């Protein structure tokens, strides 16, 4: 069995060779804003609308907490 570093190197080589997109670890989902595509599998943001404000963060949990707080205060709305 390869060591963790050897496995990581082999994985990196395979990813670079194929061009496949990889996310994680500890990923709550993916967002491609330009394509309006999300792979967040629960009750989180379900539709993207263009607007004057963006929320960026390293922690999906913190970003979602901010999103819920802004929704609750009427600062942003969800267009359906």
pLDDT value at 7 more than 80:
yes
- Residue 9 CA to its chain's centroid (Å): 24
Contact 40, 29 (CB under 8 A): yes
Listed in sequence order, the residues at least 6 apart from 13 whose beta carbon sits closer than 8 Å to its beta carbon are: none
Question: What pLDDT sits at residue 23?
Answer: 76
Question: What pLDDT sits at residue 14?
Answer: 93
Pairing of strands 37-38, 31-32: antiparallel
Nearest to 59, CA basis, from 29, 38, 37, 35: 29
Domain residue spans in the chain?
A: 4-72
Q: What is the pTM of this model?
A: 0.42
Listed in sequence order, the residues at least 6 apart from 22 whose beta carbon sits closer than 8 Å to its beta carbon are: 15
pLDDT in tens, 22-31: 777 777 777 7
pLDDT in tens, 48-77: 666 776 767 777 777 778 878 888 888 877
Read off the pLDDT band of 47 (50, 70, 90). low
């Amino acid at each position: 069995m390869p060591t963790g570093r050897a496995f990581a190197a082999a994985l990196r080589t395979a990813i670079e060779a194929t061009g496949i997109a990889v996310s994680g670890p500890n990923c709550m989902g993916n967002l491609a804003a330009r394509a309006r595509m999300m792979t967040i599998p629960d009750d989180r943001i379900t539709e993207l609308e263009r607007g004057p404000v963006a929320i960026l963060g390293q922690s999906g949990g913190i970003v979602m907490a901010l999103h819920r707080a802004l929704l609750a205060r009427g600062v942003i709305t969800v267009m359906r």
